[in-house]
Structure 1
Amino acid sequence: QVSTSRYTWKVKLIGEGADDAGGSEDLVLCSLDVQSEDLVLCPDRFLLNPAALSKDHMVQFRFLGILMAVAIRTKKPLDLHLAPWVWKQLCSMPLGEPDLEEVDLLTFRTLQGILHLENSGITEENFHVMIPLDSFVAHSADGRLVPVGPGGQNISLNFSNRTEYVERALQYRLHEMDSQVASVREGTAPPVSVETLKKLVRYRDIAESHQLVAWFWQSLEEFTNEERVLFLRFVSGRSRLPSNPADMTQKFQIIKVDRPVNGLPTAQTCFFLLRLPPYTSQVVLAERLRYSIHNCPSIDMDNYMLTHNTEPLETSDTEDLKGVAVKWAPRALQIYSSGHC
């Protein structure tokens, strides 16, 4: 656990009268240990091992992500020699043929050779003599011969379907580490915990036992983590929660408001506050909440109004702009459905 920005972590040695302040050497040792087992060398940089798929491996990859996040927060260099391929995936950048060429030149040239047989002398008659593969299999990053696609080992490779084979092989190689990358990214940005939000909540003008509250928590639990991140941005302007709820200086406030039934929820990021109108069902609540978090991700909406040359309204008037209720206050525009103040 990181307690200050100065030290990586603090370790208490059980049974000994000393402790450790967690300097940068700890990160170096941890990164070297990770590189020794969970990564694949190719040729002078490391890739994540696509064969490391067990639960324990996923925990280790998540810990690698935590190490990366700690290194960034504490400004302690991390001695980790990852290939550009991995960094691109961690940043959600698409991979392409040049990336495979960079990390596995032999496989890239083999696939290109199978695809482009012009002037090679290889024909349908001598294809199996010249190409040493008889099914839809290819070598993975860690050297295993694996099927490319479902049942690939049972699909015969021939002259006529070679293009399909190359496409499948490329897709497999470009995505064979997706699970490992996802675990690393989870470590760098832990998922939004509904249970943590429940520990932070404060109810106003509504009881915890109210049906609306139960529907709200059910909806949030059904959301994907990406949707929960959008929700957190919608109500607070941030994309993650602290690992320790005690570090949160604000309570998450839920208020029941007297507005039209099945309307859009509203929020105020300054106060970490969500306003819920009455709903006829949990399904409707979830649908309205999803609409709001997907269509109102920005805090500053003033420029929207300026570009549309909207004249100020009286403070008691409202109008709908694509489902967004806006209201002019003195010298400032308040965006209610975005919840931004």
Structure 2
Amino acid sequence: MDPETVDQDILSLTFAYDVEELGPRTTIELCPDGKDIVVNSKNRKQYVNLLIQHRFVISIASQIAHFSQGFSDITTSSIKTSLFRSLYLEDLDKMFDGSGAAISVEDWKAHTDYNGYEENDHQISWFWKIVKCMSAEQRKVLLFFWTSIRYLPLEGFRGLDSRLCISRTSESCEHLPSAQTCLHLLRVPPYFNRVMMQNRLEMITQEHIGCSFGNL
């Protein structure tokens, strides 16, 4: 944004921002008397730096301190030194965000139960054959639609807090599958054939649909 536009105060920014936590809205000042300091072309760089500092460092300092204390409680000084010498940022990403590796259909199948279906039913057989033919991205979208989980733990499906389930629904075959993500439950109508099921699964594994958490 050009300096002239900033100096016209079109954005109405000051060295303060509002946060809402459990209802009440609080104004956080980025510096002393920040709510009275208007952002302009001369101080905008300082404003951005202070805003980043507050949002990504100061605002989470308490949580980081508790995490650090908890980590210290379960490790010794020598273990921490050894750990951090051999630990890379990519390792931490995997520890906190899970594995970005391709999803194993066999592992998925082994950790899935059935309600209203039997493992040897045509619909279940079609389902896993279709999933096996999906692209890696489609499997991720299906997993997210089913569970609201984007990445699996490092242990795979056995690292989840509960097993997954495919449940037979009484809805007509015109309906798409739906999900109760908190229960890891996928509700699938008794489709008449594999082509029909594949068509429905392809619809819910589109990125913009899969992100709706199964509420179709």
Q: Unaligned stretches of 5+ in structure 2?
A: 1-69, 73-78
Distance 1:23 1:259 in 2: 53
Distance 1:188 1:336 in 2: 26
Give per-residue Cα distances to partners, 1:259-297, cap 9 Å, x unaligned.
Answer: 212431111111111111121221221111111231423
TM normalised by structure 1 equals 0.36
Distance 1:247 1:230 in 2: 19
Distance 1:74 1:284 in 2: 39
Q: Does 1:284 align with 2:190?
A: no
8 Å contact from structure 2 (residues 99, 152) kept in 1:
no
Q: Does 1:69 align with 2:90?
A: yes
Q: Does 1:26 align with 2:86?
A: yes
8 Å contact from structure 1 (residues 262, 280) kept in 2:
no
TM normalised by structure 2 equals 0.55
Distance 1:225 1:264 in 2: 21
Identity of aligned residues (%): 24
RMSD: 3.0
1:318 aligned residue: none
Which structure carries more relative contact order (alpha carbon 8 Å, separation 6+)? 2
Higher helix share: 2
Q: Unaligned stretches of 5+ in structure 1?
A: 8-19, 28-66, 76-186, 301-334
Find the partner of 1:293 among 198, 205, 208.
205
Write the mapping of 1:1-341 to structure 2, written as runs, cut at 5 A. Answer: 23-27=83-87, 68-72=89-93, 189-244=100-155, 245-294=157-206, 295-299=208-212, 336-337=215-216
**Equivalent AA in structure 1 for residue 126 of structure 2:** W
8 Å contact from structure 1 (residues 235, 267) kept in 2:
yes
How many residues align structurally? 138
8 Å contact from structure 1 (residues 236, 273) kept in 2:
yes
8 Å contact from structure 2 (residues 100, 152) kept in 1:
no
Which structure has the larger Rg? Answer: 1
Return closer, same or farther for 1:188/1:216 CA change in 2, 3 Å cut-off: closer
Distance 1:237 1:265 in 2: 15
